[in-house]
Amino acid sequence: MPKRGKNYKKSVEGIDTSAIFPFAEAVEALLRSKYAKFDESFDVAVRLGVDPRHADQNVRSSLMLPHGTGKTERVLVFAKGEKVQEALDAGADFAGNDDLVEKIQGGWLEFDKTIATPDMMGTVGKIGRLLGPRGLMPNAKLGTVTFDVGRVVGEIKSGKIDFKVDKAGVVHAMVGKVSFGPEKLQANILAFIDRLIQLKPSSSKGVYLKSISLTTTMGPGLKVDPNEVRVLIKGA
């Protein structure tokens, strides 16, 4: 078992971390238990009834959260000609082509998201081994390989998230900051889980939403009832 500090122990007093909580109560409990001096992230982990070894069950997509994430993403765009200026005008932190590829080959990785125009993918492929393992490779399925760079830059800056199921069948996502308060966090969480439900593979049998856990950066993980969450989404 990991060692816990006194602040953590004090924050979870009276909270049964082994219980399954009503959705709203779990969010409130986590917000009450915060103790860090910084604005903690609020995260969701959903265990799905899928087998990621099968390509058709490899759940992966993106989503514009209703209230964003509260995090400022550093966006890099690989483009040519007027698309470079379009990206910069839309708020991209970096935009260019061969110059950026050379810089990345030299070890520079000071960015969080990448976008590429289709005519740049041949060049970007040269650094795929550097970007891919870090989840930074532009991907057509996520909408980050496009000529509409201005729109996509704006979406990412406004709180668009990418997510995919891991080898254990779990999807993780940051859905905001504790400073958002309960209403905005609940809206973001429900929007995220609703998107997962929409993405259920037809080949997935049995229970799809196996478990849902909520946590903050420094706080405990609290489980909520997937069936209640389904009902809340249907009633929204």
Task: State the Cα–Cα distance between residues 37 and 5, nearest whole angstrom.
Answer: 15
Residues whose CB is less than 8 angstroms from the CB of residue 159 and which lie 6 or more positions away in sequence, other chains included: 64, 65, 67, 68, 69, 70
Length of the chain: 236
**pTM for the model:** 0.81
Question: Using one digit for the tens of pLDDT, what is the confidence trace for 98-123?
Answer: 999 999 999 999 999 999 999 999 99
Task: State the Cα–Cα distance between residues 236 and 227, nearest whole angstrom.
Answer: 14
Domains in the chain: boundaries: 7-69+160-235, 75-157
Architecture category of domain 75-157 in CATH? 3-Layer(aba) Sandwich (3.40)
Question: Using one digit for the tens of pLDDT, what is the confidence trace for 50-106?
Answer: 999 999 999 999 999 999 999 889 999 999 999 999 999 999 999 999 999 999 999
Name the burial class of residue 69, with classes exposed (0-12), middle (13-18) and buried (19+) by CB atoms within 10 angstroms of its CB.
Answer: buried
Identical topology for domains 7-69+160-235 and 75-157 = no
The answer, yes or no, to whether residue 2 has pLDDT greater than 60, is no
CATH of segment(s) 7-69+160-235: 3.30.190.20
Question: Using one digit for the tens of pLDDT, what is the confidence trace for 144-197?
Answer: 999 999 999 999 998 889 899 999 999 999 999 999 999 999 999 999 999 999
